[in-house]
Amino acid sequence: MRAARYHEHGEPDVLAVEEVPKPTPDREEVLVETRAAGINPIDTYVMAGDSTPADGLPAIAGSDLAGIVVDVGEDVTKYELGDWVYATALGIHDQGSLAEYVPVPVDILAPLPESVSFTDGAAAAMAFATAWRGLITRGELRLGESCLIAGAAGGVGHAGVQVATEAGATVIGLARKEGTDEFVREQGVDSVVDYRSDELADEISAAVGDGLDVALETHADANLIPEVEAAARGGRIVVLGEEGPIEIDPGLSMSAKKSDLDVRFMSIAASRDDHASLLTSVAPLLAEGTFIPSIDSQFPLDEAVGAYRRLSESGVRGCVVVTFE
Q: Of 49-58, 70-79, 94-103, 304-313, which range is least confident? A: 49-58
Q: Give the contacts of 54 (CB within 8 A, at least 6 positions apart).
A: 92, 93, 94
Q: Are residues 249 and 131 in the same domain?
A: yes
Q: Which of 227, 249, 265 is the last residue of a domain?
A: 265
pLDDT at 247: 72
pLDDT at 286: 98
- What mean pLDDT value characterizes the chain? 93
pTM above 0.85, yes or no: yes
pLDDT at 55: 86
Q: Residue 20: what residue type?
A: V
In sequence order, what DSSP letters do the residues of 70-98 get, joined into one string?
A: EEE-TT--S--TT-EEEE-S-SSSS--S-
Q: Which of 215, 249, 265 is the last residue of a domain?
A: 265
Q: Are residues 93 and 145 in the same domain?
A: no
Q: Are residues 15 and 52 in the same domain?
A: yes
- Return the top range by mean pLDDT from 125-139, 209-223, 306-320: 125-139
299 inside domain: yes
Model pLDDT for residues 42-87, shown as the tens digit of each residue:
999 999 998 888 889 999 999 999 999 999 999 999 999 999 999 9
Q: Are residues 309 and 251 in the same domain?
A: no
Mean pLDDT of 107-122: 97
CATH of the domain at 184: 3.90.180.10
Q: Of 20-34, 189-203, 250-264, 265-279, which range is least confident? A: 250-264
Q: With CA atoms as reference, report the closest residue to 61 among 18, 111, 119.
A: 18
Q: Are residues 74 and 173 in the same domain?
A: no
d(CA 226, CA 202): 8
pLDDT at 246: 72
260 inside domain: yes
Residue 269 reports pLDDT greater than 90: no
Q: Residue 181: what residue type?
A: D
Q: Are residues 69 and 156 in the same domain?
A: no
Q: Residue 251 — very low, low, confident or very high, per pLDDT cuts 50/70/90?
A: low
234 inside domain: yes
pLDDT at 258: 65
pLDDT at 180: 81
Q: Are residues 224 and 312 in the same domain?
A: no
Q: Using CA atoms in the order 220, 223, 227, 229, what is the torsion angle rounded to 10 degrees?
A: 120
Counting the structural domains of the chain, the total is: 2
- Domain span at residue 93 reads 2-112+294-323
pLDDT at 243: 64
List the end-to-end C-alpha distance of the chain, in Å, as a whole number. 14
